[in-house]
């Protein structure tokens, strides 16, 4: 019988552990331990580092082209609100039960062990593919400087992968510190871009006044109406993915009861502000019909185009160098999230035992290595062209990310219901989501609509684009298969609310 199904009522009455005073992640038996050394600033920047990457610096241009400036702002705004609800849901669970690789554990404890199994593997796949996406984008950036005739693209993907694996092989504190500075560079870049963009729009720089004329240019501000907004949802979702990394890193936080709520409150507003401001500035400077915006692929960023309009001649090289740093940062966070999720799956018996092994620095080294192996999908860009592979990986990663968010919403709804059903006091929660049950319900509905509608473009194409349809629903297929197989083999059931496990360790 599954562990969650065999919980005794007396176990529910045991006093919870004070995780804020432990230097290691508490586990049972012979399970390996992770170190609790991350601070609030690390948690915040890890989330920001995983979020501000190619989704903003590259994919945002295509979003404006697909939905127009108004459509892009609305799509990113709506996804941002949904992420806010998800962050409050995750914050409530992660502050109370701070464990690494939290999503699959929450799903197993509060919904169904099969749900947690599928959710965990889905989240691992999401970040493993994201790392591959970042590597494919990095290959395109490097080709701006050195052609494929001089150096094959696969070499650049391999070099970037070595750097990412190297950063993650450090101690978690070293990783957190590196990610802090990586993310800081990206934040400063976005701030400078917004300031310079406003000055360019006003005519202070570049010698030309842009104003907001491109917001009413052609079909703008809303291109293709509602469908245009829906088309941007996938890219917007990909861009915001990474905010939930706070929940993954909570298991290695020195004081999760205080650090997680602070990080949840800080990260969302910062990221939303960065995205909305950046897209607004791009829309002021570049019309949605600009050929460079719609056909540049991964080699040219809308940020580069924006800086060029200021008259800053080296903007392309400087911006591409910064984008390369952001790729390393986002890939770094992705590798971290995937390896910790795989580690937790192994500790719960949902993945091979070898993945729970950690080295002397508390790093799940085998989980890290296996994730790196999957990230080698980026090497396909050398065979099929970096733009084709990048877009395919982007679509696949985005859908798996939405499934993870949907899982957070479902898990939190059940978490709160079980918490009350067991007679627990809501005032004892270190952090409480104020919008319950509205928040998780809205998040669930939006996630479901976006996931279900992602195949629309492929179905409406003439002829039908089966490859894009497959990419759009690959994550759904994998999730359903994993859920059904685990449920049938282990004969799991939905966990009764009165039997949900609120232990604050990995027990």
Q: What is the pLDDT of residues 478-505, one digit of tens each?
A: 899 999 999 999 999 999 999 999 987 6
Q: Are 136 and 155 in contact (CB under 8 A)?
A: no
User: Helix, strand or coil for residue 151?
Assistant: coil
What angle (nearest 5°) sits at the alpha carbon of residue 189, between those of residues 133 and 211?
105
72 pLDDT more than 80: yes
Q: Each residue of 150-174: pLDDT tens digit? A: 888 788 888 888 888 888 887 777 7
Q: Which two tokens stand for residue 180?
A: 């802090």
Cβ atoms of residues 389 and 138 within 8 Å: no
Per-residue H/E/C for 413-479 = HHHHHHHHHCCCCHHHCCCCCCCCCHHHHHHHHHHHHHHHHCCHHHHHCCCCCHHHHHHHHHHHHHH
Q: What is the pLDDT of residues 185-205, one digit of tens each?
A: 888 889 999 999 999 999 999
Prediction pTM value: 0.83
List pLDDT tens digits, range 271-292.
Answer: 778 889 999 999 999 999 888 7
Asked whether residue 176 carries a pLDDT value surpassing 90, the answer given is: no
Calpha distance 502→507 (Å, rounded): 10
Q: What is the C-alpha to C-alpha distance for residues 472 and 75, in angstroms, rounded to an integer?
A: 18
Largest pairwise CA distance in the chain: 74
Q: Burial, 227: exposed, middle or buried (Cβ in 10 Å; 0-12, 13-18, 19+)?
A: middle
Best mean pLDDT range from 255-259, 318-322, 358-362, 490-494: 490-494
Average the pLDDT over 254-261 and give the result. Answer: 75
Residue-level pLDDT at 274: 83
Cα distances (Å, whole numbers) of residue 463 to 186, 361, 452: 41, 53, 20
Predicted pLDDT at 15: 37
Distances in Å between the Cα of 327 and the Cα atoms of 142, 320, 323 are 12, 10, 6
The fold for domain 40-453 equals Amino acid/polyamine transporter I (1.20.1740)
Mean pLDDT of the region 316-321: 81
């Amino acid at each position: 019988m599954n562990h969650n199904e065999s919980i005794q009522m007396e176990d529910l009455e045991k006093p919870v552990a004070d995780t804020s005073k432990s230097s290691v992640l508490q586990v049972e038996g012979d399970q390996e331990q992770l170190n609790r050394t991350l601070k609030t600033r690390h948690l915040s920047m890890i989330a920001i580092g995983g979020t501000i990457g190619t989704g903003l610096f590259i994919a945002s241009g295509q979003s404006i082209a697909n939905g127009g400036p108004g459509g892009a702002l609305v799509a990113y705004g709506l996804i941002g609100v949904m992420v806010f609800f998800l962050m409050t849901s995750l914050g409530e669970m992660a502050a109370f039960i701070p464990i690494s690789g939290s999503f699959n554990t929450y799903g197993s404890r509060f919904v169904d062990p099969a749900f947690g199994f599928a959710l965990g593997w889905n989240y691992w796949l999401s970040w493993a593919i994201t790392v591959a996406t970042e590597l494919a984008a990095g290959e395109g950036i490097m080709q701006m400087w050195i052609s494929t005739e001089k150096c094959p693209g696969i070499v650049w993907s391999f070099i970037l992968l070595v750097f990412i694996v190297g950063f993650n092989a450090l101690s978690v504190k070293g990783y957190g510190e590196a990610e802090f500075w990586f993310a800081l560079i990206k934040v400063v870049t976005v701030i400078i871009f917004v300031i310079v963009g406003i000055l360019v729009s006003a005519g202070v720089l570049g010698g030309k006044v842009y104003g907001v004329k491109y917001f009413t240019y052609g079909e703008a501000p809303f291109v293709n109406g509602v469908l245009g907004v829906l088309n941007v949802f996938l890219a917007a979702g990909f861009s915001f993915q990474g905010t939930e990394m706070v929940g993954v890193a909570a298991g290695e936080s020195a004081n999760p009861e205080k650090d997680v709520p602070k990080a949840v409150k800080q990260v969302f507003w910062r990221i939303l502000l960065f995205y909305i401001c950046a897209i607004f500035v791009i829309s002021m400077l570049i019309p949605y019909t600009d050929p460079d915006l719609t056909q540049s692929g991964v080699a040219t960023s809308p940020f580069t185009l924006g800086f060029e309009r200021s008259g800053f001649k080296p903007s392309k090289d400087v911006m591409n160098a910064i984008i390369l740093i952001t790729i390393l940062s986002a890939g770094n966070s992705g590798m971290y999230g995937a390896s910790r999720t795989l580690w937790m799956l192994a500790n719960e018996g949902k993945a091979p035992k070898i993945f729970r092994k950690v080295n002397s620095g508390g790093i799940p080294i085998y989980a890290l290595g296996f994730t790196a192996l999957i990230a080698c999908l980026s090497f396909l860009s050398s065979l099929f062209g970096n733009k084709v592979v990048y877009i395919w990986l982007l679509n696949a990663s985005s859908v798996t990310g939405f499934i993870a968010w949907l899982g957070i919403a479902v898990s939190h709804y059940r978490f709160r219901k079980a918490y009350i059903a067991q007679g627990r006091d809501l005032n004892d929660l270190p952090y409480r989501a104020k919008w319950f049950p509205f928040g998780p319900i809205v998040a669930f509905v939006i996630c479901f609509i976006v996931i279900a509608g992602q195949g629309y473009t492929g179905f409406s194409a003439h002829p039908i684009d089966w490859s894009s349809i497959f990419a759009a629903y690959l994550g759904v297929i994998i999730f359903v298969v994993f859920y059904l197989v685990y449920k049938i083999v282990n004969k799991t059931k939905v966990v009764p609310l009165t039997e949900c496990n609120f232990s604050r360790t990995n027990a």
